[in-house]
Amino acid sequence: MKRKQDNEEADINIHSEDEMTGTENTEFESEQDKTVVFNDDQDSDSDLEAGPINRTGKVPREWYEEYPHIGYDVDGKKIMKPATADELEKFLAKMDDPKYWRTIHDDVDDKDIVLTPQEIDIIQKLQQGSFATEADPYEDAVDFFTYKQSIHPVLSKPEPKRRFLPSKWEHQKIMKVVRAIRKGLILPHGPKTEKKPQFYDIWNDSEEPKRTDKIPAPKIKLPGHAESYNPPEEYLMTEEEKKEWEAKDAKDRETSFIPRKFDCMRHIPAYNKFFQERFERCLDLYLCPRVRKNRINIDPESLIPKLPDPKELKPFPSILSVVYKGHSGRVRSVSVDPTGQWLVSGSDDNTVKLWELMTGRCIQTWTYDEVIQQVVWNPSVSISLFAVVFGEKIILVHPDVADEEISESTKQILKLENFESKAAEWKLIDETQLEINHSAQVKSCVWHNKGDYFATVASQGHSSKSVLIHQLSKKISQNPFKKVGGIVQNVLFHPKRPLFYVATQQFIRIYDLSKQELVRKLSPGFRWISSMSIHPSGDNIIVGSYDKKVCWIDMELSPKPYKVLRFHKKAVRNVVFHRNYPLFASCSDDGTTQVYHGMVYQDLLQNPLIVPVKILRCHSNKGGLGVLNCQFHIQQPWLVSSGADGLIKLFS
């Protein structure tokens, strides 16, 4: 059989041996025609005889490469792999077998299959792009109804009777609907309710169409009587009004022109500001957006936080009880002893006075060489001692007003041997006074809660010696910092943990004394910090500033302020917490002391409650200064304040 190859790029090309050798082959002439049946569904078990022998299904043949069988038959028996011939045997079989050119290999059953003449013919037709079976694609169409004219109809079946009678079953269905309408079960013109789906697509577009809130541009104001070419006399300006109009700025003028009067319209000149006004109009339309905003009616009182009545938050200091008179200069500092019986004060008249708190009687007076900057009582109950800060010195004074046992223990501490200290010089003046000399002027002093350690702040700028920590029991002074990041304003000890707070002008740094590292940095947001005080629990701190503001910082919440209080009109001089009551206060140069209720809850999820409860107008303003210091009583809700007028007042 001879065949020309029409498609050289076909995937399968069938070539007979006759085409290769040039001889004719009459092999197909003796074979009978057979019907070709294609069964490509190997998964069907309807005809077991026609299906493949291997019943493993459509699984990769690589799974059986390591096994001696290729699969299983219908009975579940293994089908062993046939013996494979080598390349020489394949070549000899190719030369001797005349049917080799139409033999293909079946990978499923692992055997060779000889294609029939009909299958070869189908393959050749598929390669040529023609129909696989014998068919005429362009068969002539026969019009059954018009190809032959006739006098009788092709279909002359008579119409049935049911075509002319109303349907019985349709009548029953209609009557069923009519009865339901009469009973009210069906509403013929009822509202159409669209059933919403149970689930909806969250990524789908909004059901409501987006409407463009376009607002038309405002129209130009219509000209009035003043713009007329013949305005009334009252619209014309006098010479004084013209000079006043010309002296004003263009934004402050009521009109952009001076009204003029003409006899007739032909005398009206061209308007010289026409293009300028058109340009400004275009700028207004282009640069001024118009947005439609829905106005919300909100009660202004609902926006104000509801705070409890101050009467429900008593007790707090509100009444002036005692006035302490005796100082001739500004009283810069006051301090109450741990027993709550004595009060010590320091003034610009270089004196320190000891007062009896309840009666206001002056018990004792100490006079020094310089202005007293601060007096601080030791918080320990076992000793009776307070520190006096002035110049470059700190003097620890025993007032000798306590019991004999406490007085003897205090004197014993002051009589301890003098240890060498490079940071500061310790010197015993007498049995009741101990002097500590510094290299610079000392600004403030603060005690630790246990009373053994105290820290001082000196005015040495950025020097590392500006902050010193002293130990009373060993008479040792040490410098905890090699470098201070700024001018130190104040320092504090944590009431429970070994933490040390250092306040510069704008930041507060927290150091761990045991680990000797920086733990945290607080940012009150002030320009100049004046004072600070820590809550007895140790988790909250209040900071005062010369910016007339006081802030509350919740250190568990954030390093930034939780609340900022702006009730003072001048610089804030001091802030202080009460040890036992939920109270804190701030004093200012405006002559007032603000008392607040500050409740800290044990529940960490609840924010602190801050309520201003009282404004104490304590002292008069003198020389631009007002209230210089304020301190709470140790046990009672009382407040002691000192001012620039030289007075000390007790509020209870």
Which tens digit of pLDDT belongs to each residue from 619-640?
888 888 889 999 999 889 999 9
pLDDT at 149 (0 to 100):
76
Nearest to 543 by CA among 535, 555, 553, 558: 553
DSSP assignment of 353-400, as one string? EEEETTT--EEEEEE-SS-EEEEEE---SSS--EEEEETTEEEEE---
DSSP assignment of 456-479, as one string? EEE--TT-GGGEEEEETTTTEEE-
Tell me the HSE value of 597 on the side-chain side, using a 13 A CA sphere: 17
Place of tokens 């702006």: 566
Greatest alpha-carbon pair distance for the chain in Å reads: 155
Q: Are 608 and 585 in contact (CB under 8 A)?
A: no
pLDDT at 461 (0 to 100):
63
Confidence of residue 173 (pLDDT cuts 50, 70, 90): very high
Work out the average pLDDT over 289-310. Answer: 80
CA dihedral 485→487→490→494, nearest 10 degrees, is 0
pLDDT digits (tens, 9 = 90+) for 267-299: 999 988 889 989 999 998 888 877 777 778 888
Strands 425-430 and 433-437: antiparallel
Of the chain, the end-to-end C-alpha distance in Å amounts to 129
What is the distance, to the nearest Å, from the Cα of residue 276 to the centroid of all Cα atoms in its chain? 48
Dig out the tokens for 285 from the structure. 């339309």
Dig out the tokens for 527 from the structure. 């320009």
Dig out the tokens for 535 from the structure. 């809550």
pLDDT at 51 (0 to 100):
66
Distances (CA, A) of 282 to 218, 287, 598: 12, 8, 57
Confidence of residue 492 (pLDDT cuts 50, 70, 90): very high
pLDDT at 417 (0 to 100):
64
Dig out the tokens for 518 from the structure. 């920086």
**Of the candidate ranges 64-68, 191-195, 467-471, 525-529, the one whose mean pLDDT is the lowest:** 191-195
DSSP assignment of 133-195, as one string? S---TTPPP--TTTSS--SS-S--PPPPGGGGS--HHHHHHHHHHHHHHHHTSS-TT----PP
- Residue 51 and residue 42: Cα distance in Å, rounded? 7
DSSP assignment of 242-293, as one string? HHHHHHS-TTT-S-SS-----SSGGG----TTHHHHHHHHHHHHHHS-----
Q: Which residue has the higher pLDDT, 311 or 47?
A: 311
Q: Are 363 and 386 in contact (CB under 8 A)?
A: no
Confidence of residue 487 (pLDDT cuts 50, 70, 90): confident
Q: Could you state, in order of their start, the residue ranges of all structural domains in the chain? A: 37-115, 310-651
Work out the average pLDDT over 470-477. Answer: 86
CATH number for the region 310-651 comes to 2.130.10.10
pLDDT at 199 (0 to 100):
75
Backbone φ/ψ region at 391: left (φ over 0), alpha (ψ -120 to 50), beta: left
- Residue 307 and residue 518: Cα distance in Å, rounded? 38
Q: Are 491 and 446 in contact (CB under 8 A)?
A: yes
pLDDT at 205 (0 to 100):
62
Distances (CA, A) of 174 to 178, 353, 359, 579: 6, 113, 108, 91
pLDDT at 46 (0 to 100):
44
pLDDT digits (tens, 9 = 90+) for 405-435: 888 888 888 876 656 667 788 888 888 888 8
Tell whether omega for the bond before 524 is within 30 degrees of 0, i.e. cis: no
| pLDDT of 521 strictly over 70 | yes
pLDDT digits (tens, 9 = 90+) for 531-553: 999 999 888 999 999 999 999 99
pLDDT digits (tens, 9 = 90+) for 26-47: 344 333 343 333 344 444 444 4
pLDDT digits (tens, 9 = 90+) for 320-366: 988 999 888 899 999 999 988 999 999 999 899 999 988 889 988 99
| pLDDT of 127 strictly over 50 | yes
Query: CB within 8 A of 28, min separation 6: which ones?
Result: 1, 117
**SS3 state at 57:** coil
- Residue 424 and residue 479: Cα distance in Å, rounded? 9
**SS3 state at 427:** strand
Query: CB within 8 A of 583, min separation 6: which ones?
Result: 316, 577, 595, 596, 597, 598, 632, 637
Dig out the tokens for 296 from the structure. 């919300």
| pLDDT of 593 strictly over 60 | yes
Instruction: Please compute Rg for the chain using Cα positions.
Output: 54
